[in-house]
Protein backbone atom coordinates (compact mmCIF):
# COMPACT_ATOMS: atom_id res chain seq x y z
CA UNK A 1 0.00 0.00 0.00
CA UNK A 2 1.35 3.43 -0.88
CA UNK A 3 2.14 5.32 2.31
CA UNK A 4 4.02 8.40 3.33
CA UNK A 5 6.50 8.79 6.12
CA UNK A 6 8.85 11.36 7.65
CA UNK A 7 12.63 11.11 7.55
CA UNK A 8 14.79 13.63 9.42
CA UNK A 9 18.50 14.09 8.86
CA UNK A 10 19.65 15.11 12.33
CA UNK A 11 22.15 17.90 13.13
CA UNK A 12 25.08 15.43 13.15
CA UNK A 13 24.16 14.16 9.68
CA UNK A 14 23.93 17.73 8.34
CA UNK A 15 27.23 18.75 10.03
CA UNK A 16 28.98 15.73 8.56
CA UNK A 17 27.84 16.44 5.02
CA UNK A 18 25.61 13.38 4.70
CA UNK A 19 22.46 15.01 3.28
CA UNK A 20 23.16 13.98 -0.31
CA UNK A 21 24.20 10.43 0.56
CA UNK A 22 21.11 9.80 2.69
CA UNK A 23 18.67 11.23 0.15
CA UNK A 24 20.47 9.27 -2.58
CA UNK A 25 19.76 6.02 -0.73
CA UNK A 26 16.07 6.88 -0.41
CA UNK A 27 15.75 7.64 -4.11
CA UNK A 28 17.89 4.66 -5.16
CA UNK A 29 15.45 2.40 -3.32
CA UNK A 30 12.63 3.70 -5.53
CA UNK A 31 10.94 5.88 -2.93
CA UNK A 32 9.87 9.44 -3.79
CA UNK A 33 10.80 12.58 -1.90
CA UNK A 34 7.65 14.71 -2.03
CA UNK A 35 8.58 17.49 0.45
CA UNK A 36 11.98 18.67 1.61
CA UNK A 37 12.93 21.38 4.09
CA UNK A 38 16.03 22.48 5.99
CA UNK A 39 15.32 24.18 9.29
CA UNK A 40 16.59 24.71 12.79
CA UNK A 41 13.98 23.32 15.20
CA UNK A 42 12.73 25.43 18.07
CA UNK A 43 12.99 23.81 21.48
CA UNK A 44 9.20 23.71 21.75
CA UNK A 45 8.85 21.87 18.44
CA UNK A 46 11.65 19.43 19.23
CA UNK A 47 9.75 18.58 22.41
CA UNK A 48 6.53 18.11 20.41
CA UNK A 49 8.30 15.91 17.88
CA UNK A 50 9.61 13.68 20.67
CA UNK A 51 6.58 13.95 22.99
CA UNK A 52 6.50 10.16 23.49
CA UNK A 53 9.99 10.28 25.07
CA UNK A 54 9.23 13.04 27.59
CA UNK A 55 10.34 11.95 31.07
CA UNK A 56 12.90 9.44 29.85
CA UNK A 57 16.50 9.84 31.08
CA UNK A 58 17.79 10.74 27.60
CA UNK A 59 15.07 13.32 26.84
CA UNK A 60 16.98 16.51 27.77
CA UNK A 61 20.10 15.41 25.92
CA UNK A 62 18.03 14.47 22.90
CA UNK A 63 16.31 17.89 22.79
CA UNK A 64 19.65 19.75 23.17
CA UNK A 65 21.13 17.68 20.37
CA UNK A 66 18.14 18.10 18.03
CA UNK A 67 18.24 21.89 18.47
CA UNK A 68 22.04 22.16 18.13
CA UNK A 69 21.99 22.89 14.39
CA UNK A 70 19.92 22.63 11.23
CA UNK A 71 18.08 19.46 10.28
CA UNK A 72 16.64 18.30 6.97
CA UNK A 73 13.07 16.99 7.00
CA UNK A 74 11.80 14.89 4.09
CA UNK A 75 8.38 13.44 3.34
CA UNK A 76 8.92 10.10 1.63
CA UNK A 77 6.26 8.27 -0.38
CA UNK A 78 6.08 4.75 -1.74
CA UNK A 79 4.88 1.21 -1.21
CA UNK A 80 5.06 0.36 2.51
CA UNK A 81 7.18 3.51 3.00
CA UNK A 82 7.09 3.51 6.83
CA UNK A 83 8.65 0.05 7.14
CA UNK A 84 10.93 0.34 4.13
CA UNK A 85 12.46 3.60 5.41
CA UNK A 86 12.95 2.08 8.86
CA UNK A 87 14.77 -0.85 7.28
CA UNK A 88 17.04 1.54 5.35
CA UNK A 89 17.70 3.51 8.57
CA UNK A 90 18.45 0.53 10.86
CA UNK A 91 18.16 0.14 14.65
CA UNK A 92 18.53 3.13 17.01
CA UNK A 93 21.97 2.29 18.39
CA UNK A 94 24.56 2.97 15.72
CA UNK A 95 26.94 0.53 17.40
CA UNK A 96 24.45 -2.30 16.84
CA UNK A 97 22.97 -1.26 13.50
CA UNK A 98 24.01 -3.63 10.69
CA UNK A 99 26.36 -2.45 7.95
CA UNK A 100 24.37 -1.47 4.88
CA UNK A 101 21.88 0.52 6.93
CA UNK A 102 22.30 4.30 7.25
CA UNK A 103 23.02 4.08 10.98
CA UNK A 104 25.13 0.97 10.51
CA UNK A 105 27.31 2.78 8.01
CA UNK A 106 27.47 6.26 9.58
CA UNK A 107 26.65 6.18 13.33
CA UNK A 108 28.59 5.04 16.39
CA UNK A 109 26.26 6.47 19.01
CA UNK A 110 22.75 5.85 20.33
CA UNK A 111 21.92 9.58 20.52
CA UNK A 112 23.81 11.00 17.55
CA UNK A 113 22.43 8.47 15.11
CA UNK A 114 22.25 10.62 11.95
CA UNK A 115 18.57 10.10 11.08
CA UNK A 116 15.08 9.74 12.51
CA UNK A 117 12.21 7.89 10.81
CA UNK A 118 8.56 7.79 11.89
CA UNK A 119 7.49 4.41 13.24
CA UNK A 120 3.86 4.29 12.00
CA UNK A 121 1.66 6.07 9.44
CA UNK A 122 -0.13 7.85 12.31
CA UNK A 123 3.13 9.08 13.84
CA UNK A 124 4.31 10.13 10.38
CA UNK A 125 1.29 12.41 9.93
CA UNK A 126 1.75 13.88 13.41
CA UNK A 127 5.50 14.45 12.97
CA UNK A 128 5.03 15.93 9.46
CA UNK A 129 2.52 18.41 10.90
CA UNK A 130 5.07 19.43 13.57
CA UNK A 131 8.20 19.87 11.45
CA UNK A 132 6.51 21.39 8.39
CA UNK A 133 4.69 23.95 10.55
CA UNK A 134 6.33 27.26 9.64
CA UNK A 135 6.36 28.23 13.34
CA UNK A 136 8.76 25.35 14.15
CA UNK A 137 11.68 26.94 12.36
CA UNK A 138 13.95 29.33 14.30
CA UNK A 139 16.65 31.63 12.97
CA UNK A 140 20.26 30.42 13.13
P1 LIG B 1 15.15 8.38 17.15
O2 LIG B 1 14.87 7.23 16.28
O3 LIG B 1 15.07 9.75 16.57
O4 LIG B 1 14.11 8.30 18.38
C5 LIG B 1 14.40 8.81 19.66
C6 LIG B 1 15.81 9.27 19.78
O7 LIG B 1 16.28 9.38 21.11
C8 LIG B 1 16.73 8.24 19.16
O9 LIG B 1 16.60 8.21 17.78
C10 LIG B 1 18.07 8.70 19.70
O11 LIG B 1 18.56 9.85 19.03
C12 LIG B 1 17.67 9.09 21.11
N13 LIG B 1 17.86 8.00 22.08
C14 LIG B 1 17.17 6.87 22.19
N15 LIG B 1 17.62 6.11 23.21
C16 LIG B 1 18.64 6.79 23.75
C17 LIG B 1 19.53 6.55 24.84
N18 LIG B 1 19.45 5.43 25.56
N19 LIG B 1 20.45 7.48 25.11
C20 LIG B 1 20.53 8.62 24.39
N21 LIG B 1 19.72 8.90 23.34
C22 LIG B 1 18.79 8.00 23.02
Residue among 72, 104, 62 nearest 7 (CA): 72
Q: Is 116 in the pocket of ligand 1 (CB under 6 A)?
A: yes
CATH number at residue 10: 3.30.70.141
The 10s digit of each residue's pLDDT in 54-100 is: 999 999 999 999 999 999 999 999 999 999 999 999 999 999 999 99
Calculate how far, in angstroms, residue 27's C-alpha sits from the geometric centre of ligand 1.
Answer: 25
Calculate how far, in angstroms, residue 82's C-alpha sits from the geometric centre of ligand 1.
Answer: 18
- The C-alpha atoms of residue 33 and residue 57 are separated, in whole angstroms, by 34
- The C-alpha atoms of residue 123 and residue 120 are separated, in whole angstroms, by 5
Q: Is 91 in the pocket of ligand 1 (CB under 6 A)?
A: no
Residue 46 structural domain: 2-136
pTM value is 0.98
Number of domain units in the chain: 1
**pLDDT value for 139:** 83
Task: Report the nearest-CA residue for atom 12 of ligand 1.
Answer: 111
- The C-alpha atoms of residue 37 and residue 70 are separated, in whole angstroms, by 10
Amino acid sequence: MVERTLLIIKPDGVRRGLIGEILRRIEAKGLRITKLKMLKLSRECAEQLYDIHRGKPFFEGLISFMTSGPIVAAVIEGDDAVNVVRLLVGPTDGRKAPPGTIRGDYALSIRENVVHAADSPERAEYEISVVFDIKCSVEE
